Structure 1
């Protein structure tokens, strides 16, 4: 949700991963190091089903949970007959939990001339001024490969530049954000006139004007986020293809067993530990608040419907402290796909 979070501070596209869901949904947490270097992988194409569904039940009421993932093969067509059948027969579709600001906040932002330059480093600093020399040299090599000539990006904060570079690197490697999966699910929901519920947390921002001014002046320790992004693109692209293929054919174990540099945690930490965000009480404890809001919505849906269909990030499903674990702790029966 980092893009969504930062969109609450300006009207453009923003950086890095998320508390809930973003263009980059981080991979499931690894459980072991890869035994050896991953050979270059050819991405799967054609129609693929993705993983099976998690079944959460109580009495004769069932919540089916589909695990989303990103990045995915760009030329893959996702289609799961199991998902189509179960979703079409469900009474409610539970979307992923999201956080966002009130509509009035966005309207007020459009009136602010100083939204321009919000992504820039404070005091006119350039990337070469805020990055260690070795990190900047690595950036230059990857910039030449994936972005090309763009002097303007040199003025932006590392966290924003990392997001742009990562997106371009994935596209170059034949990977996409996986948005077509959500589009396909939405199409089924609309076709069958299924009730759609969007669990969410509204971000509280008292003064958009002051928030924007404070953010533009604030510093942020986002070098780790930037360095981890470089590492993912330098060393992990082939393993990303392995994981993308594994999701496409429903091999969750293959996704879990490959280690990777945790870009999401590094970039989220840069934002959550910034003085700016610490000064915004409405942004506190977002992980826990989103999980609580989703679990409440899931319990309500389970009580009301014979069948509910939900989508969660695969990472949140597999997390032993995550969303599904929270329901299991409340006494619901959880069955993983075979």
Structure 2
């Protein structure tokens, strides 16, 4: 699920610092490398230059078509997306659905937001001044130190952060160093949508923090297994960096079969789930968020398909490809789903490619007013 930040508390931090509502996933014995050259030696190869990206999935019924783009993150920083197909689809569409998301808002003003800064900073830190070495099992702390030295260097203050916040920063900085932090998709979709005279349609569950200061206090007292989040983050950097690069490369070059073979689990979502399903999350009404977002997107997609001859949507690639994913759910509801390069019967032999913005008659599928 699309989450600009991995944790609900980041919404409070953003409110405090930016004064505006914000949206909300083996013990090491070697010597930790510190130099930038060592990072480059360890980094997997990622594609560069102009790349086509994946094709679009087609969802259709009763002559109406929705083109669906599967999203992958992270993507290569140094690639340029040849996005003509997507731009044509959006130009012919009457609606552009964003990927499903959960957003957190707070109505505090500028002055009140500034007063939350000290409390927000305290929420990021471990209670009672504890450091990560006091909270993590010895083996996990050694592994954390190795990855921290590799990607964060001599950043000592983070040792006093709660594990979930430390994990988020470690992952973000690692992707930057590995050049897997490309902002490839968003600017293209925004420009194409604006060029078509449309606005993107959010598909989100909105929640409002009525008393952010009290929530910060509750968070400091809450029992949340954020050590598990840090453990998963460390394991991903130890074991899954080649997979992340392979997945990013597969998206860039449009290799759908490779994307089918690779996992699409979301580390940030799994970490966020620790908070959502905690006692605090359940008290706030955040439990079951994944199922609620699924239902919200399916309802929005069916409405767009009913109202517009052509529409466009974005989904995490895992939900596009999974046998129990969102597109599979639409198929079970009577819609026809066709993968990129496939005939209507699902086969790929002798497949022909139509102009993406068109169904049977291109002129019949312009944007509905």
Alignment match of 1:319 (pick from 322, 340, 360): 322
Say whether the 8 Å CA contact 1:247–1:255 is kept in structure 2: yes
Alignment match of 1:328 (pick from 312, 323, 331): 331
Say whether the 8 Å CA contact 1:53–1:336 is kept in structure 2: yes
Match of 2:253 in 1: 249
Alignment match of 1:115 (pick from 120, 131, 136): 120
Distance in 2 (CA, whole Å) between partners of 1:104 and 1:256 is 42
Q: TM-score, normalised by structure 2?
A: 0.78
Match of 1:27 in 2: none
Match of 1:36 in 2: none
Alignment match of 1:306 (pick from 289, 309, 314): 309
Say whether the 8 Å CA contact 1:231–1:261 is kept in structure 2: no
Gap change, CA 1:84 and 1:219, over 3 Å in 2: same
Say whether the 8 Å CA contact 2:6–2:271 is kept in structure 1: no
Shift of 1:258: 3.9
Structure 2 residue 134 is matched with structure 1 residue 136: no
Shift of 1:204: 4.4
Measured against aligned partners, the alpha-carbon deviations of 1:201-230 in whole angstroms (never above 9, x if no partner) come to: 111444222211100222321222212211
Match of 1:278 in 2: 282
Shift of 1:330: 1.3
Match of 1:29 in 2: none
Gaps of 5+ in 1: 14-20, 25-38
Gap change, CA 1:98 and 1:136, over 3 Å in 2: same
Distance in 2 (CA, whole Å) between partners of 1:229 and 1:106 is 35
Measured against aligned partners, the alpha-carbon deviations of 1:79-101 in whole angstroms (never above 9, x if no partner) come to: 22211111111111111122223
Alignment match of 1:6 (pick from 4, 9, 15): 9
Distance in 1 (CA, whole Å) between partners of 2:199 and 2:160 is 45
Number of residue pairs matched by the alignment: 314
Say whether the 8 Å CA contact 1:224–1:266 is kept in structure 2: no
Higher mean displacement: 1-10 or 178-187: 1-10
Shift of 1:109: 4.2
Measured against aligned partners, the alpha-carbon deviations of 1:47-72 in whole angstroms (never above 9, x if no partner) come to: 11211111001111111100110111
Gaps of 5+ in 2: 17-22, 26-41, 342-369
Shift of 1:246: 0.7
Q: TM-score, normalised by structure 1?
A: 0.85
Q: Secondary structure at the match of 1:72?
A: coil
Q: RMSD of the TM alignment (CA)?
A: 2.5
Match of 2:52 in 1: 49
Q: Secondary structure at the match of 1:95?
A: strand
Distance in 2 (CA, whole Å) between partners of 1:206 and 1:195 is 29
Shift of 1:7: 2.9
Radius of gyration: which is bigger? 2
Gap change, CA 1:166 and 1:216, over 3 Å in 2: same
Shift of 1:196: 2.5
